Amino acid sequence: MTVDSSALASWAASHLGDGPLRVHGAPTAAGRSSDTVLFDVGAEQFVLRRPPPAESFPLFPRYDLGRQVTAMQLVATQTHVPVPRVRWFERDPAVLGAPFVVMDRIAGLPAPDQPPYVFGSWLTEATPEQRAEVEGGMIAVLAGIHAVSDVTDLELDAPGDTALRRHVEHWREYYDWVAAHAGTAFPLIEDAFQWLEQRWPSGHEAIRLSWGDARLANVLFREYRPVAVLDWEAAAPGPPELDVGWCLFFHQYFQRVAARYGYTGLPDFLEPARFVAAYESASGHLVRDLEWFLVYAELRQAITSIRVSGRAVHQGEREAPADPQDLIIDRDHLEEVIS
C-alpha cells in the first residue's frame, strides 16, 4: 500500500514543519504486520505506521494503533527504556486513507529474523563480549518495561478473572479467527491449549506491562546497545514471564532452524539459566513456571504461523500442503513438547 505523497506533504507541513518531503518507502527489514513508510521532512527523519489494508491478507483481525501509542507513552514517561518519540497519532482515516502514527526514526540495526540472525549477521560476527552486551541490553529492556504496572488502559477485551487468563483467551479467540479463515480446525493447536489448561500456573499476580513481541528483531542496536524498542501492537497487561518466555523461545526456535540446516548458530547466546538469573537481579521479579510460558510462546507463534503460511499460499509463494496441519511452522517440535 503506497502513501499519497501530496497528501502526506500537506499534512506534514501543518504538523511537522514545511521542509521538503522525501518518501523512502518501506524499511527493508520490516515485518508485514503493518504498513510502514519511511520519510523525511527537511533534515528530520520519521516513520509512519498504519493498519494494513484488508485486501493484503492481514495477520490479525484488528490493528489497534491506539494501544501501541499508549504502551509507548507509558514506557517513555515511566522508564528509561528507549522508545521512538511519537510525534502524532492521526485518528482521522480521511487524511491518508487510514489512521496512522508518526514517530521519530532512530538509526540502528535489529538482529534480523528474515533470515534469522543465527545464519550469519552482525551478531554472529560479534565477539563474545559484544554479544554479552547485547544480551545485557535485552535484559535491561525487559526489566525496564516490566517496571510499568499501571496498565488499565491496555486491558484485553477477553473473558477471564485474571490478566493471564484474559491473555490466553485473547489468543484462543485469535486461533478461532485463523482457523475459520483457513477453513479447518488444527488439532495440534487445540491439544496445546489443553496442555496449558491442565498445567495452569498459579501465583502470577505481579501484573506488569507486557511488551508482547520481545524479540531481538524488534530492538534497534547501536554499538551493541539498544537505542529503540519497536513493535508494540501486542502490548497488554500480564505477568513478566510472558515476555521472558517469548524472548527465550524465539532464540531457541532460531537455533533449531540453524541446526536443521547445518549451521552452528549461537548456542551460548540467551542461555536460559543465565538470562533468567540476570533478569531476576535486574527486575527484582522471581521467574516462575518458565516451561509453561515457553510452551505458551510456542503455541502463540504456531497460531501466527498458520496465518503467515496461509498468506504465502494465497500469494502463490508456496503450494498448499496436502495436510493443512503442515501450515504450522515447527510443527514437529510443538508436538514433541506437549506429548
213 is catalytic: yes
> What's the rounded Cα separation, in Å, for the pair 12 and 6?
10
> What's the rounded Cα separation, in Å, for the pair 206 and 238?
8
> What DSSP assignment string belongs to 185-204?
--HHHHHHHHHHHHT-----
Question: What separation, in Å, do the N-terminal and C-terminal C-alpha atoms of the chain show?
Answer: 43
> What's the rounded Cα separation, in Å, for the pair 37 and 250?
26
- Non-local CB neighbours of 59 within 8 Å, separated by 6+ positions: 32, 33, 52, 304, 307, 308, 311
Element (H, E) at 235: none
Residue for grid cell 499460499: 313
Q: Choosing from 113, 213, 243, 289, which is the catalytic residue?
A: 213
Element (H, E) at 161: none
Q: Write down the number of H helices and E strands in the chain.
A: 9, 9
CB 81 within 8 A of CB 195: no
What Rg, from alpha-carbon coordinates, does the chain have? 20
Residue type at position 57: F
Q: Which residues are catalytic?
A: 213
